[in-house]
Structure formats: C-alpha cells, structure tokens
Amino acid sequence: MSVASKQGLLVSDSSTTSNNAQRQSSDKLSHVADIDNIWLLPDGVSDLLSEEAQKQEWLRYKLTRLLVSRGYELICPPMIEFTESLLGNASEDLKRQTFKIIDQLSGRLMGVRADITPQILRIDAHLNKMGKANKIARYCYAGHVIRTLPDGLFGSRTPLQLGAEIFGSDSLDADIELIDVLYCLINNLNLKKHLHIDIGHVAIFARLKELAGLSENDASVLMNLYANKALPELKQVCAELPMGNDFYQLAVYGHDMNALKQALSQTATQDKAIIKAVQEVQAMVAHIKSTYQSNVSVDITELGYHYHTGIVFNAYFENESQAVVRGGRFNGEGFDAASQASTAIAEELPSRSATGFSLEVTRLQRFISLNESKLVLVSFADMQGVRSDDNEKLAKDLTTKIAELRDLGHRVVRPLSSEDAPNNVTHKLILEDGEWVLRAV
C-alpha cells in the first residue's frame, strides 16, 4: 500500500474517530439534558429533602396529636373522589383549582382534591344520615391537596393542609373554641409572636345585599372591588346602587365597628342580623385581645370563601401577604357521595351549622428548627473484626448499643462496606478494650 494510501487510511480512521467522539459527546450532552428534564418540576411543586421532610412530618404528628387531645376525631379522606361528590356544592373557583382525571375502572370523571373541607362536609352528612354523627361533632385532618394554580405568586400547588371543624353548633362559642384551638397549636410551636389575626363577618355584606335587593352580578363586582381595596372605583359603582353608601362605608370603616355603626344607614343599623354580626365581631376581638394579648384587626370586606356565612378569620405570619390559616362559619348542607344526587340529598337532610379552619403546614416550616440528633456511623473495620473473630458476645453488645442510641433519638448507620459513609457523620461507634464506645468525629 502506498504512503498516500496509508495516509488516506489514517485520515479516514481519524475522521471516523472524530465522528465517534462527537456522537459520544452529543450522547453525553443529551443524557445530561435528559437528567435535567427528569429533575425539572412544575411551578409551585417542589421536593422536600432531609431536614425539611422531617420538619413536615414532625409538624403533622405534633399538631394532629394536639387536636386529638382536645377531642377532635382524626379522619383521612381519600385524595381522589368522583366529581359528583367532590365538587357537588363547589364554587367555580374550587372547580378551576381541581385536577380532573378519568377513572380507568368505571370511566367516570374523578377529581383530585384541592380542599379538604368539602370532604369533611360529605363525611359528616353521611354519618348524620346514618345516625352515627354526634349532635355536635368535631373532626380534624391532615393531608396534601393538589391545585391547578398556586395560592399567590410563590405559593405551593401541593401544600399539606391541616384543619379542624365543628359541626352541629350555631353558637359563637364554637367559633371561639376554634380560635382557642388555633392558638393552642401556635403556642405549642412558640410562634404566637409571629401571628396576626384578621377578623371579618360575611353576614353583614350578605344582609345588606338582601336589604338592597342586589343582583348576583352586582354583588360579584363589589366583592372583587373589596378584595382589591379599590376605593375610587368602589365609590363610583356604589353611587349607582340602592343603599350604595352602606356598601361603600363597609370598605371605609370596616376596620372599626363603632365607626361603622355610625356611618351605616338607619335601615342597616337597626337590622337585627347586622346588629348580631357586629356584636359577634366585637366579642371575638375582645376574646383574642384579653385571652392571648395577640395582634388582631378587623376587615368586614374580607368575605372568606364562597361557602362562608358568618365569622371568618385569616391568620398571617409576620409581614406575609398570603394567609397561613383560613377559617370561618359555614352551613354544612350535606350530601352523600354514593348517591350521585347531591341536591336531592341536601334537600332531605337538615342544614348543619359548622365552623372550622385550615392551616397550610408547609408555610410553618421556615419558623421552626428541629433538635439536632447525632448521626452515628458504626466502624466497619471493627464490625468486620468481630465477625471474623466469630465473637458472639460483642456482636450482641453492638446490637444492644445501637438500639439504645436509636431509642435516644440518634440516627445510627451500620455500614455495608468501607465506602458506606453518609454525609455529616457526627459520631462513630468504635470498639475499645472490648466495649462499644461512642466518639465524636
């Protein structure tokens, strides 16, 4: 073969090698991209690793135990239900927040829960119909909800929701009990100094709407303006409405009950339902201030969720704009999931007055820290030495020592090889003079 031919071969081989290298490099880049895509999560969805995961489980356990100790029955509704039961009495907002899927067994439409309160309502209605519900029933729960949209700009779409509900009482005492329960939870976490409570009352706006004969469309416009605190636009809209000045004064003086009573019309101030609502707000504020010396404000234009009918309250931590806790009174008009006829069932059952709150556990995590536990690694060399010597006593002593350390709350790892060493090891368990001894690293 000529030199040129040899050179040609060499060039050809070099080209082939270069192409292979490029392909391998491209494959590696593609593999890296695939890995990046695997770890890419949707907006509002995140992993909880190590310490944060432990915080969440610790909070779930501690808070549910406190609720159970106060007589609340712990229940765990399913993550998915048929939409007839899950969304039977839901607002359009809740329906938009709910993921829908097709049941592969029945072909029926199912929803992934975006709020647990409607599920508690269904359970109480069913128990009440079967005669198994207490006349006044207390429930608590803790579980994840899945939402199509986050609550707020940086909110989670998969929060851990914990809550408490009282069914069967229309007394203000039930609302006060829920506030007491909330403060019990917060005080046990030593977070009261961070807490601010905002009190509202849906019945004042609802009664004004009834007195003025307001249409649903006009009421919706007002509610949006209240939510956005748009006073100039609100004043213009109210000028065109019957009793419009009353609706405007709710926004102007809705933080001060005494001033509001003076600003409202005579028709409103003499109405029994409005008088009762104002008194309930004042009583709730007085209770919180006298019992807990806590920060509390009033906002009558805070109208809660679509199903609230009376006292409503939001709890905020520090200067956060999104509430950590939302609660209030609602009518527990029941329905039974097995029936597929929620309206008919609701007509058969008497309305059950109810009040409750839900708390987003994940939002509490940044305010707490767990007690540091030792991370102990057993010496692999000493373990192997005991095994090779066939020393049964030392092997049993090791098992006992590990159990003792774990009972004390320490994390102990028995390595599988000399390379098996987790990060952040704080102590080692080693063999000294025939004894297993704990030594700091």
131-136: long-range pairs with CB below 8 Å, 24+: 133/167, 133/168, 134/168, 135/168, 136/166, 136/167, 136/168, 136/169, 136/174
pTM > 0.85: yes or no: no
Average pLDDT over residues 346-375: 83
Q: What is the pLDDT of residue 350?
A: 53
Average pLDDT over residues 382-406: 93
Q: What is the pLDDT of residue 253?
A: 95
Q: Poorest-confidence range of 149-163, 178-192, 421-435?
A: 149-163
pLDDT band at 20 (very low <50, low <70, confident <90, very high): low
For the ranges 66-80, 313-327, 367-381, the one whose mean pLDDT is highest: 66-80
pLDDT tens-digit readout, 218-267: 999 999 999 899 999 999 999 999 999 999 999 999 999 999 999 999 99
pLDDT tens-digit readout, 299-340: 999 887 777 899 999 999 987 888 999 999 988 654 333 333
Q: Poorest-confidence range of 82-91, 374-383, 420-429?
A: 82-91
Average pLDDT over residues 87-107: 90
Mean pLDDT of the chain: 87
